[in-house]
């Protein structure tokens, strides 16, 4: 008998927010985008992640974003980011996710300072008390706190995480994690290492560029995890000029621009993020135009 899909399996799209000209959130447009992604074959959405600019949202806005996503696609398809500077605040966001009907949450380590292992384990323990499955998010480039394979294994042994979104870029870690925590699910956390991590056994992809090109992204993921490496390599090669933007500081602006070019609502970012530099914009426009011309949408 086939077991049901775990809430973090498959293509889980980290969603950006559509801002109006006055930089208020267009929640109706956001709901429509979440529903459209699922309609295009994506498995779920991840609101209030880095791509969703959660750091510049008010508490009310952050809550509304989660509630809007749940109303649009159902809580079993919504895995909100609950990261915060303090463990108590992160736990409150996990509580809100549970009360809103979400099936899982994604959590960064504490990142207001360079936390040690003791602090990291205490942080995840606090949030796990809310009872929702926790997907750890390892992004040592931005947080300066590295969830090494050994620390990930410890968090899993503690019973505090069920999966990890791996964004270090070091694909060798996939094999160490599998050896040290064989019951833990690995999720590809950066678009430009998807194929390598899929081959290494990833059970999901917390994706960025499917916001603009969902059908191509879903096909790439399915081919990669399904063992159709000829098709996967072809798509990966064609999409990689865009996918690599997901690992750059300007990833939000780049993905939103590609969404605009693909006929979706990307739009502006809130400060301090500003527009792409002219040469960056030209590069994204050219790569997006080429992908669309080749039918990768």
What is the C-alpha to C-alpha distance for residues 140 and 50, in angstroms, rounded to an integer?
Answer: 13
Q: 214-230 pLDDT, tens per residue? A: 999 999 999 999 999 99
**pLDDT at position 78 over 60:** yes
Q: Are 194 and 171 in contact (CB under 8 A)?
A: no
Q: Give the ranges where the chain is alpha helix by DSSP (H).
A: 27-39, 59-73, 87-100, 117-128, 140-143, 149-157, 173-180, 194-199, 214-226, 229-243, 251-261, 278-293
Does the pLDDT at position 33 exceed 50? yes
The proportion of the chain whose per-residue pLDDT surpasses 70, expressed as a percent, equals 99
Cis, peptide link before residue 272, omega less than 30° from 0: yes
Which residues, at least 6 apart from 148, have a Cβ–Cβ distance to it below 8 Å?
A: none
Place of tokens 């796990």: 128
Give SS3 for 100.
helix
Residue 2: pLDDT band (50, 70, 90) is: very low
Q: Residue 4's pLDDT is what? A: 58
Q: Which residues pair with 94 in a beta bridge?
A: none
Residue 1: pLDDT band by 50, 70, 90 thresholds?
Answer: very low
What's the mean pLDDT in 142-158? 96
What integer best gives the mean pLDDT of the chain?
A: 97
The rounded distance, in Å, linking the Cα atoms of 10 and 251 is 21
**Collapsing DSSP states into helix, strand and coil, what is residue 146?**
coil
In the chain, count H helices and then E strands.
Answer: 12, 7
Q: Tokens in use for 272?
A: 């301090």
pLDDT of residue 267: 96
pLDDT of residue 171: 97
Q: Is the pLDDT score of 112 beyond 90?
A: no
Q: With bands split at pLDDT 50, 70 and 90, how would you rate the model's confidence at 3?
A: very low
Given a cut of 80, whether residue 124 has pLDDT beyond it is yes
**Is pLDDT above 70 for 135?**
yes
- Asked if residues 108 and 143 have their Cβ atoms less than 8 Å apart, the reply is yes
Average pLDDT over residues 257-264: 98
Would you say residue 163 has pLDDT above 50? yes
Reduce the DSSP state of residue 205 to 3 states and report it.
Answer: strand
Give the pLDDT of residue 172: 97
Q: Is the pTM of this model over 0.85?
A: yes
pLDDT tens for residues 269-293? 999 999 999 999 999 999 999 999 9
In degrees, rounded to 5, the angle at the alpha carbon of residue 240 between the alpha carbons of residues 52 and 226 is 90
Q: What percent of the chain has pLDDT over 90?
A: 97
Token pair in block for residue 45: 């959405």
């Amino acid at each position: 008998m086939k077991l049901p899909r775990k809430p973090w399996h498959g293509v889980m799209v980290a969603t950006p927010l559509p801002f109006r000209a006055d930089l208020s959130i267009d929640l109706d447009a956001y709901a429509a985008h979440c529903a459209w992604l699922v309609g295009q074959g994506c498995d779920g959405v991840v609101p209030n992640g880095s791509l969703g600019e959660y750091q510049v949202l008010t508490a009310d806005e952050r809550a509304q974003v989660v509630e809007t996503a749940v109303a649009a696609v159902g809580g079993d398809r919504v895995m909100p980011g609950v990261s915060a500077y303090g463990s108590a605040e992160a736990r409150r966001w996990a509580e809100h996710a549970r009360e809103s009907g979400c099936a899982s949450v994604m959590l960064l380590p504490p990142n207001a300072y360079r936390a040690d292992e003791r602090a990291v384990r205490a942080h995840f323990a606090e949030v796990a008390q809310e009872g929702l499955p926790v997907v750890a998010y390892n992004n040592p480039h931005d947080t300066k706190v590295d969830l090494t394979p050994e620390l990930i294994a410890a968090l899993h042994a503690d019973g505090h995480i069920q999966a990890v979104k791996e964004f270090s870029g070091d694909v060798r870690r996939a094999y160490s994690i599998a050896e040290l925590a064989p019951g833990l699910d690995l999720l590809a956390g950066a678009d430009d290492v998807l194929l390598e991590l899929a081959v290494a056994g990833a059970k999901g992809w917390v994706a960025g560029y499917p916001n603009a090109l969902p059908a191509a992204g879903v096909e790439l993921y399915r081919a990669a995890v399904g063992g159709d490496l000829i098709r996967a390599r072809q798509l990966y090669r064609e999409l990689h000029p865009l996918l690599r933007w997901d690992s750059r500081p300007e990833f939000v602006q780049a993905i939103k621009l590609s969404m605009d070019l693909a006929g979706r609502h990307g739009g502006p970012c809130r400060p301090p993020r500003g527009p792409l530099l002219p040469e960056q914009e030209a590069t994204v426009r050219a790569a997006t135009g080429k992908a669309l011309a080749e039918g990768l949408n």
